[in-house]
Structure 1
Amino acid sequence: MSAAWSPERPDQELVNGVTDLFHAAWGFTPDAVFSAPGRVNLLGEHVDYSGGTVMPLALPQRTFVAVSPRTDGVYQAVSAQAEGVQRATLAEVAPGATATGWFSYVVGVPWAMAHEGLIDEDAAAHLGLDVAVDSTVPLGAGLSSSAALECAIALAVDHAASATDPTRALLAATSEGRRRLAAACVRAENEIAGASTGGMDQSIALQAREGSVLSIDCRDFSVAPVDIDVAGAGLALLVIDTNAPHRLVDGQYAQRRAACEDARSTLGVTTLRDAFDGAPTSERLTHLLADWERGAQDPSRNTSPAQAARITPLLRHAWSEMVRVQQCQDLFDDRSTVPRDGTRWSRLGRLLNDSHLSLRDDYRVSCPELDVAVSAAQKAGALGARMTGGGFGGSAIALVHGDDVSVVAEAVAEAFEARHLTAPAFLVAAPSGPARRET
């Protein structure tokens, strides 16, 4: 079978399209258009909420929102990807309230910004938005379509709040301001949308660097670009959307996050990352796991054998993934002694392969479609491949030679067809820029 590629649309076409959608819905021209990117994570999966370092990059695929401010506290929105008009006042928004689906991300952001003190309380009571949404970020693919929507809305609310208050500084104008907006978006997703995600997705959407993978230390969400020039090395990062439904609100993600929190509390550390007490290394990993297993048998810890059996493999993934991220950073550090040739890239490929095995066997967040995608890509010549995102569906990535992109994609598509799985879709990831105002 022929591989299916995710459709690409020029940014200006998206701007024009979402403007037309806004005009058709509300009868006038929007005040502004904002956009934010989807993301794919190179390494550092399921470690953001444990204080680890993650290495995402922003995708060229973006979510666009056309907006105009209101003064009655009403938020109403339409989407090119959904039917109907969604409407709520900010006073109606609260954890467990009726806002569901994509609209919970729209109204959750101003709610969180108000509760985080990013909007004046009196102003928040009156501020509202008319919104139209369009996106090329694949939905349900584990590529952070939700965070892209949240961050585009965050910029829109930020601008609307500053426009009504000349003394209010525009948060999006500074890195620290964007960090605070990202934190509000995380709160919106956790408390209003009901998905207990970490902070990686929102951080990369708001602070991405064009052309760079971003290293994000999730203990303080500080960021630094990493020079991993895949295209310059004649390689490509192929994203495989398995079209297996990607769900984070069915309890599986939350269960693992809660187990990591239990382990953190038992260990008496602020984050699981802090257990390393320094740079994560393979040697320290071995000692940490041995210490944990011995401690789990200590009656004073009140850790039952069943709890230990459940938590140990999760810890093994979290800590080993932190080591893999450190090894990747060391590999591409300017001071690295590894030759700038195929050796460096083959080592990166092995890190990707090892990450997938850990996510599949220890963290248990893979699924048949992801495993088929990874295995088929590896057999077709990929230097490395792994699932990316929360798991239980979604997408995988494969590091491939530039000339082999189509070959690997066709091999994966054929493997899916042979197993009677829904056909996957493909795109090539190129590090792109952060959330921004378009008009």
Structure 2
Amino acid sequence: MTHTEFRRVYQADPEGIWTAPGRVNLIGEHTDYNDGLVMPFALPHTTSAAVSRRTDGLLRLHTANEPSAPVAELRVADLEPATVAGWTAYPAGVVWALRGAGHAVTGADIHYDSTVPVGAGLSSSAALEVVTALALSDLYQLQLSGWQLARLCQRAENVFVGAPTGIMDQTAAACCQAGHALYLDTRDLSQRQIPFDLAAEGLRLLVIDTRVKHAHSDGAYGERRRGCEQAAANLGVVALRDIAHDELDAALGRLADEEQRRLVRHIVTENHRVEQVVARLEARETRAIGPLLTAGHASLRDDFRISCAELDLAVEAALSCGALGARMTGGGFGGSAIALVEEAIADKVGEAVTAAFATAGHPTPRVFTAVPSAGARRLA
């Protein structure tokens, strides 16, 4: 359909079709912009792009998700931060970042089609950025690696769009492998693919999309980042990543500001939880990661304070029904939660969460099984 729609919109065939996935973060929340450790995996939900080059300096963008909207037309030479609004800011930002890095991108026609839920904390923006960057890298023969694409896409989102995100989402979209979770050190971008085949162990990881929308460019996310940076400065370290777990109490004792103490406690303990999850997965003790997921949610709720009533309810209902562990995932203030469950009770847990939302008067959540999938790639 992406190929057919491209032809309908642009009256020509595309030069190729690419795809990039959304992601679920298993553990390691808000640690990426603190030079910390994260562990995402790619979803089967993807954003696909049919693309052709242009030589006249025009960037034309269209999406099947807004089929009645006109084609957006921009001049690549005129692209500047904060000058493009809406979803088109993300691919426009990628072109801006590529050109700023010295790559002679002279324009493109692009048609997108996405199954990544928007605003669900599953990195729809990163999927849009990375599929654009990969397609243009291939077409313009830039030969950019996955981590290079991720860095450029992060710059597009941070500077062009104005959302202060870390590097995790873009790296997950660019670098994840099917059947694995990506253990990523966001300081040096070193990576390890950790086998994560839940079905083989009789387990499922449920994603519970609360349908509460969130936006990284909103002020609360930026406030947390600035608070972490100020705490690091007050502690005399480059980033909160530099505070070891066994140094936490001493570090907290050096901070007078209670808000900064909360932020530091979450980041330091969350990095430690990532390390513990990796160790348990490598020891094939997958069920043992459940309590670590739940502890992560408590830290995000109580210390980082980025949960909401719907996320808390999703976690509580899943745990009450027998989930091995559950937590919110993503930037917070809405979006999705995850629950690690035995295969035998997966449907029951989903039903219990849905019933709890109905009782509380919340919109019906979307519940689905997360399957670790492939990262960005060319399809045709």
Measured in 2, the distance between the counterparts of 1:158 and 1:73 equals 17
**TM-score calculated relative to the size of structure 2:** 0.97
Amino acid in structure 1 at the alignment position of 2:306: V
1:268 deviates by 2.1
Q: 2:125 aligns with which of 142, 146, 157?
A: 146
Would you say the 8 A contact 1:219–1:271 is kept in 2? no
**TM-score calculated relative to the size of structure 1:** 0.84
Would you say the 8 A contact 1:217–1:223 is kept in 2? yes
Measured in 2, the distance between the counterparts of 1:228 and 1:66 equals 31
Counterpart of 1:296? 255
1:58 deviates by 0.3
Measured in 1, the distance between the counterparts of 2:207 and 2:177 equals 19
Counterpart of 1:317? 266
For 1:187, what is the secondary structure of its paired residue?
helix
Q: Which of the pair has more CA radius of gyration?
A: 1
The C-alpha deviation readout for 1:317-361, integer Å capped at 9, x for no partner, is 11110111111112223xx4xxx4xxx334211001100000001
Counterpart of 1:264? 232
1:160 deviates by 2.2
Measured in 1, the distance between the counterparts of 2:159 and 2:339 equals 33
Indicate the RMSD between aligned Cα atoms, in angstroms: 1.3
Amino acid in structure 1 at the alignment position of 2:255: A
Amino acid in structure 1 at the alignment position of 2:133: A
Q: 1:26 aligns with which of 10, 22, 29?
A: 10
Amino acid in structure 2 at the alignment position of 1:89: R
The C-alpha deviation readout for 1:250-272, integer Å capped at 9, x for no partner, is 11100000110111122222221
Identity %: 45
Large movers: runs of 4+ above 3 Å? none
Of stretches 55-64 and 225-234 in structure 1, the one that deviates more from structure 2 is 225-234
Measured in 1, the distance between the counterparts of 2:351 and 2:264 equals 36
Measured in 2, the distance between the counterparts of 1:74 and 1:404 equals 53
Counterpart of 1:215? 183
2:51 matches 1:89: no
1:80 deviates by 1.3
Measured in 1, the distance between the counterparts of 2:45 and 2:146 equals 20
Counterpart of 2:277? 328
The C-alpha deviation readout for 1:107-156, integer Å capped at 9, x for no partner, is 11011122223x1xxx33xx101111101111111100110010000011
Counterpart of 1:14? none
2:353 matches 1:423: no
Q: 1:111 aligns with which of 91, 96, 105?
A: 96
Would you say the 8 A contact 2:121–2:331 is kept in 1? yes
Measured in 1, the distance between the counterparts of 2:325 and 2:303 equals 19
Structure 2 residues without counterparts, runs of 5 or longer: none
Counterpart of 1:60? 44
Would you say the 8 A contact 1:55–1:216 is kept in 2? yes
For 1:88, what is the secondary structure of its paired residue?
strand
Number of aligned positions between the proteins: 378
Counterpart of 1:128? 107
For 2:122, what is the secondary structure of its paired residue?
coil
Would you say the 8 A contact 2:153–2:170 is kept in 1? yes
Measured in 2, the distance between the counterparts of 1:397 and 1:270 equals 32
1:273 deviates by 1.0
The C-alpha deviation readout for 1:376-414, integer Å capped at 9, x for no partner, is 111111100000000111000000111222111111111
Amino acid in structure 2 at the alignment position of 1:149: L
Measured in 2, the distance between the counterparts of 1:264 and 1:226 equals 30
